[in-house]
């Protein structure tokens, strides 16, 4: 019996030893797997960093058209805070109409710019002086860092801005560790004392009031593991925290935690890391936050949805006060600092609300499409590219607001079917300053500014008249406005008519365009040839196959607002075609330039021909179909533009330019219903309201040297009392004895390359003067 007991005992210990060995082998294998997981993910690219899109930088210099109000608005868009004391980076103050600001250090396309304190003086919505506040020396330019208008998120939706250890303020580190992990610099990844303390406090309270996880364990759970509450996950978390502490130093772990932590959600965008959270909630860098703001930010960790300071301000402030109490109890701040922080209002999130008032979705869509011509989706969602765009945030905010208000007012049916799109840009550089593809665009929506192919109606007419001018016609050439009847091979008859259903007989060429006379345009177009008109359209930048039907002459061709914008840019820039730009350049994650979109120009028409066409378009606004624009912009006497209306009032268009501004507006319904709007009653009103509310350089290019002015008495347009004409001076090419005021002779001078160069330099100088 004793022998049997001994055998059983030996077998038991043998099985225990064998089981222990097997468990040891299995445990070793599991630990090795966890170690490999850490090494694989943590030693390579730890995070996918989305490409970030910036607006254009704000350049302040004497002579720039901008009001103090608009400057302050853009500063607040960028998270600048108003202060009445000595300024730190990212702050400004005002006194007697003068703006004082201190810029932030920033990496621009042309290199890093250090912070500078600048004083800006204004007179009548124009900068009259920029000075270095410290030295009082004049500055040629004060450049303010651009605002972030969007990013291209990976499929996880995670957005973050990476921090280094040098970016972490000591007060922030002290606050974070006091609240989340007091023994961070002494434990080995897990803290047994902390676990026992949390267990005791929770048992005494009868509920979970304290956690025992170290900061390292939190990092492991957030970065490597799921949120499932199982013993297996807690076991893996402890093992991995220990491994992490053995492989990496405390600084690396702290920085990784600060970049990984989840701190909020906005739609599909997940806010990760303290750098992005600081900008998201307070509009400033982490290094610029005060004690109360740091306490609020650290307080969010406990529950990003519960303590979201935008959605739950009072709850968030109570949590902030608890954090401040922890700091004073641990003697990290004194009672005076504590009381001052408690009394600080950290719930002013006006900056965030201002930012959200501007919807950049449609513009970002254009930027992304342009980028995908050169970069993969992975590049845009994981490589941390910095995209410098052309968007002007103040113009965009105002244009968007005016556009929305006009469309809502014009939706007479109240069916909310009326839609629209607009593009505002610089006529000389081709830079797009603002773009909207619908009334309430969201990510993934149909972008009407880019994709809506609509008949353009009378917007095509400048191409017909330009073709005639290019073939030797003048503004005073006589053309016929009489009925036309054309039949195709099937016997179908096309009989266009004027809007007023009347004929106007023999008129001057410029009148046909100014009054948008369909019959005159068709007769002229047939004279110059459909193929020539189509060629002019291509030279103006219309890149699509054009069917040579007579209806082309009245705008049966379908274009998007962006394509129309390119066409009119060539007209507005005096024949110098510049591809429309939404991107100025790109920096990689190391802040090195990898793409610069330089200004490129092609000339297809002479500045002289374009000057004549521009004059006719100015007449269209002065006395023609666009004359109601003067009711909106009574002080603007150099607006050139063209209305467009399609059959059954399906489309309302206006394209126009003045000073440095060029804009295209389209209104219509997605199902092609009758809108009841003409180009002048719909799109032109929206265009006028936008331009009325923005500041821009209103200088016009100088006339080419071979232009003289001739006094003429144009034929009376009999159809309407609205079409009364008076003697006026018209620009002409060649030799004559009088200019526009009859005081000086002008000799014949052929358009030469020198004229072209002089004109384009005039145009470019307008950008900087």
The answer to whether the beta carbons of residues 573 and 759 sit under 8 Å apart is no
User: Using CA atoms, how far apart are residues 439 and 269, in angstroms rounded to an integer?
Assistant: 22
**Helix or strand or coil: residue 591?**
coil
User: Using CA atoms, how far apart are residues 441 and 28, in angstroms rounded to an integer?
Assistant: 55
Catalytic residue, chosen from 89, 91, 180, 609, is 180
User: Using CA atoms, how far apart are residues 103 and 58, in angstroms rounded to an integer?
Assistant: 11
Q: Give yes or no: 21 in active site.
A: no
User: Using CA atoms, how far apart are residues 354 and 283, in angstroms rounded to an integer?
Assistant: 11
Listing DSSP states for 376-423 in one string gives -HHHHHHB--EEEE---HHHHHHHHHHHHHHHHHH-TT-SS-EEEEEE
Instruction: Mention every residue, 6+ apart, whose C-beta is less than 8 A from residue 756.
Output: 575, 576, 603, 606, 607
Token look-up 């378009």 returns 617
User: Using CA atoms, how far apart are residues 58 and 127, in angstroms rounded to an integer?
Assistant: 13
Phi, psi for residue 159 in degrees, rounded to 5: -125, 140
- First CA to last CA across the chain, in angstroms? 111
Q: Give yes or no: 681 in active site.
A: no
Phi, psi for residue 393 in degrees, rounded to 5: -65, -35
Buried b (16+ CB within 10 A) or exposed e, 46-73: ebbbbbbbbbbbbebbeebbbbbebbbb
Listing DSSP states for 125-170 in one string gives TEEEEEEETTT--B-S-EEEPPPEEEEE--TT-EE-----GGGS-H
Residues across the chain: 769
Catalytic residue, chosen from 389, 434, 458, 652, is 458
Maximum Cα–Cα distance across the chain: 139
Closest to 688 measured CA to CA, from 636, 638, 641, 632: 632
Phi, psi for residue 689 in degrees, rounded to 5: -65, -35
Token look-up 């345009």 returns 521
- For 616-675, what is the HEC assignment? HHHHHHHCCCCCCHHHHCCCCCCCEEEEEECHHHCEEEEEEEECCEEEEEEEEECCCCCC
User: Using CA atoms, how far apart are residues 527 and 536, in angstroms rounded to an integer?
Assistant: 15
700: which DSSP letter?
P
Buried b (16+ CB within 10 A) or exposed e, 351-380: bbebbeebbbbbbbbbbbebbeeebeeebb
Quick one: the chain helix, strand, coil %, rounded to 5? 40, 20, 40
269-272/158-159 β-pairing:
parallel
Listing DSSP states for 45-93 in one string gives --S-B-EEEE-PPEEE-TT-B--HHHHHHHHHHTT-EE-SSS--TTEEE
User: Using CA atoms, how far apart are residues 148 and 159, in angstroms rounded to an integer?
Assistant: 13
Retrieve residue 259's tokens: 């970049």
User: Using CA atoms, how far apart are residues 390 and 425, in angstroms rounded to an integer?
Assistant: 9
User: What is the set of active-site residues?
Assistant: 180, 458
């Amino acid at each position: 019996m004793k022998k049997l007991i001994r055998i059983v005992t030996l077998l038991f210990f043998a099985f225990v030893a064998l089981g222990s060995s097997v468990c040891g082998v299995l445990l070793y294998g599991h630990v090795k797997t966890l170690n490999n997981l850490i090494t694989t993910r943590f030693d390579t690219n730890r995070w996918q960093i989305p490409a970030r899109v910036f607006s254009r930088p704000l350049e302040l210099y004497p002579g720039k058209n901008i009001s103090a109000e608009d400057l302050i608005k853009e500063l607040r868009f960028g998270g600048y805070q108003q202060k009445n004391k000595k300024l730190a980076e990212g702050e400004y103050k005002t006194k007697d109409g003068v703006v004082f600001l201190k810029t932030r250090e920033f990496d621009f396309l042309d290199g890093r710019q250090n912070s500078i304190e600048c004083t800006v003086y204004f007179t009548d919505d124009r900068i009259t002086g920029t000075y270095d506040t410290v030295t009082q020396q004049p500055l040629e330019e004060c450049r303010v860092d651009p605002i972030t208008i969007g990013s291209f998120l990976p499929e996880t939706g995670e957005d973050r801005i990476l921090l280094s250890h040098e970016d972490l303020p000591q007060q922030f580190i002290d606050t974070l560790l006091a609240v989340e992990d007091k023994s961070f610099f002494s434990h080995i990844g897990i803290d047994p004392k902390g676990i026992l303390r949390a267990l005791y406090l929770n048992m005494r309270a009868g509920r979970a009031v304290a956690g025992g996880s170290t900061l390292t364990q939190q990092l492991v759970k957030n970065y490597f593991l799921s949120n499932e509450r199982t013993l297996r996950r807690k076991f893996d978390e402890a093992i991995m925290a220990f491994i992490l502490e053995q492989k990496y130093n405390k600084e690396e772990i702290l920085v990784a935690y600060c970049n990984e932590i989840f701190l909020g959600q906005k739609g599909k965008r997940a806010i990760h890391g303290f750098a992005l959270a600081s900008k998201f909630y307070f509009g400033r860098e982490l290094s610029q936050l005060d004690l109360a703001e740091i306490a609020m930010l650290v307080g969010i960790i406990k529950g990003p949805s519960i303590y979201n300071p935008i959605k739950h301000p009072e709850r968030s402030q109570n949590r902030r006060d608890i954090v401040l109490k922890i700091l004073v109890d641990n003697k990290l701040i004194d009672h005076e600092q504590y009381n001052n922080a408690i009394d600080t209002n950290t719930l002013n999130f006006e900056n965030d609300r201002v930012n959200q008032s501007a919807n950049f979705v449609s513009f970002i869509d254009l930027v992304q499409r342009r980028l995908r011509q050169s970069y993969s989706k992975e590049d845009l969602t994981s490589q941390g590219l910095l995209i410098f765009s052309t968007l002007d945030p103040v113009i965009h905010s105002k244009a968007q607001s005016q556009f929305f208000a006009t469309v809502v007012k014009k939706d007479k049916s109240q069916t909310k079917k009326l839609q629209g799109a607009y593009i505002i840009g610089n006529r000389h550089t081709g830079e797009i300053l603002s773009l909207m593809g619908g009334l309430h665009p969201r990510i993934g929506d149909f972008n009407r500014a880019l994709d809506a192919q609509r008949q353009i109606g009378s917007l095509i007419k400048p191409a017909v008249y330009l073709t005639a001018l290019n073939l030797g016609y003048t503004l005073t050439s006589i053309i016929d406005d009489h009925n036309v009847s054309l039949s195709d091979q099937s016997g179908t008859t096309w009989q266009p008519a004027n809007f007023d259903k009347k004929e106007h007989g023999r008129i001057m060429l410029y009148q046909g365009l100014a009054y948008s006379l369909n019959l005159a345009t068709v007769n002229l177009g047939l004279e110059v040839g459909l193929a020539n008109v189509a060629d002019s359209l291509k030279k103006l930048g219309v890149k699509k196959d054009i069917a040579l039907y007579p209806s082309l002459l009245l705008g049966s061709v379908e274009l998007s607002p962006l394509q129309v914008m390119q066409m009119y840019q060539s007209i507005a820039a005096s024949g110098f075609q510049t591809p429309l730009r939404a991107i100025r350049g790109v920096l990689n994650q190391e802040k090195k330039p990898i793409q610069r979109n330089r200004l490129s120009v092609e000339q297809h028409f002479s500045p002289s021909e374009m000057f004549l066409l521009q004059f006719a378009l100015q007449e269209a606004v002065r006395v023609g179909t666009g004359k109601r624009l003067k009711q909106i912009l009574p002080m603007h006497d150099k607006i050139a533009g063209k209305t467009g209306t399609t059959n059954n009032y399906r489309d309302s268009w206006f394209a126009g330019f003045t000073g440095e501004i060029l804009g295209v507006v389209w209104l219509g319904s997605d199902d092609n219903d009758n809108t009841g709007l003409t180009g002048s009653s719909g799109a032109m009103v929206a265009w006028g309201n936008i331009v009325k509310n923005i500041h821009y350089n209103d200088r016009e290019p100088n006339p080419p040297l071979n232009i003289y002015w001739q006094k003429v008495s144009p034929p009376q347009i009999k159809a309407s009392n609205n079409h009364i004409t008076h003697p006026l001076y018209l620009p002409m090419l060649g030799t004559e004895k009088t200019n526009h005021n009859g005081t000086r002779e002008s000799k014949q001078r052929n358009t030469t390359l020198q004229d072209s160069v002089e004109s384009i330099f005039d145009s470019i100088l307008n950008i900087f003067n």
